[in-house]
Structure 1
Amino acid sequence: MFVGFRKNNIIVSVGVSLTLLLIGCNDSKASQCQRLIKTVNDGNSLVEINKGTQVATSLKLAKDLQAATEKIEQLNLQDPKLKEYQTRFVKVFTTLSQNINKAGKALNTAKSAEASTSGRKQIQTARSEIDNALKAAEIAAKQLDVLGTQVNKYCSQPE
């Protein structure tokens, strides 16, 4: 009788362990939302902190945004809608990173231009590149705002 009790105890323990393991591995929508929103907010705060900074900081910001993009990309989301948002956030952060990098490099070119005719041409070209990069970054930032609103709306819906 003692052996039978012990055998049933083991079966129940294994069953409970498997159930807890399955529940733990199955992220809820709310949990996935929290992870996505936190990671996106971390990346977004990089932009807010570094607004209007100089070349070295802009180039570092571009690298930091790329790292944030990779973190967003690596989130293991199961919810199909959140995976779609994740893909869209990756695209937006990639665009931000690339354009901030372009603007930083163009600003560096403008700063190092000589006071000459060719230097003025370099500055004009750099100014154009900066303007184009900042316009693209502004569009991406607006997309980021729209995506944030959409994710918040989706995540606030009951499961």
Structure 2
Amino acid sequence: MPVWCKYIVIAPVSLSIVLLVTSCSENKASQCQRLIQVVNEGNSLIDQKKGQQAITSMQLSRDLEAVTGSLKELNLPDPKMKEFQSRFVKVFDNLSQAIAKAARALGTAKTAEASESGREKIQKARTDIDTSLTAAAKTAGKESDALVNELNKYCRQP
């Protein structure tokens, strides 16, 4: 086989290997896109189901647990992206727990009897709902907003 024939075969194969390797390595923009997509799914769930019934709130809590799981499963090689990922995991985990606690309290209030002890259960449930959701809104909400801003700033950098 003449030398020039070998180059005709080697050049395209080498180019294919280089393109394959570079296309498989993930850049910062694609990592940002994947992380933002999962975070948006979680935020969308919250926006759709906030203020609904106890059963729906328990489902929202489970859905947020699934979002937390999806966040944990992202394989982000960039160390800064990994930091954002772990911080978002904490935010969605805290929200999930707070919503579950409020949903349980709402369920307790719904089953309370029309008696003095029933009124006490309702009052305790209201307090539990208020404290868990207020705390979640203050901490997780602020943390999420700050994280989104930081993530957007980081993802815009070259």
TM-score, length basis structure 1: 0.91
Q: Give how far 1:5 is off.
A: 4.5
Which residue does the alignment assign to 2:149? 149
Which residue does the alignment assign to 2:120? 121
Query: What amino acid sits opposite 1:155 in the alignment?
Result: C
In the alignment, the residues of structure 2 paired with residue 140 and residue 154 of structure 1 have an alpha-carbon distance, to the nearest angstrom, of 20
Q: Secondary structure at the match of 1:48?
A: helix
In the alignment, the residues of structure 2 paired with residue 10 and residue 102 of structure 1 have an alpha-carbon distance, to the nearest angstrom, of 65
Q: Give how far 1:73 is off.
A: 1.4
- Please state if 1:38 is matched with 2:37: yes
Which residue does the alignment assign to 1:88? 87
Moved more, 30-39 or 84-93: 30-39
- Please state if 1:134 is matched with 2:136: no
Which residue does the alignment assign to 1:101? 100
Q: Give how far 1:127 is off.
A: 1.5
Q: Give how far 1:6 is off.
A: 4.8
- Please state if 1:76 is matched with 2:75: yes
- Please state if 1:28 is matched with 2:46: no
In the alignment, the residues of structure 2 paired with residue 44 and residue 71 of structure 1 have an alpha-carbon distance, to the nearest angstrom, of 13
Identity of aligned residues (%): 54
Q: Give how far 1:92 is off.
A: 0.2
Between Structure 1 and Structure 2, how many residues are aligned? Answer: 157
Q: Give how far 1:12 is off.
A: 2.9
Query: What amino acid sits opposite 1:145 in the alignment?
Result: D
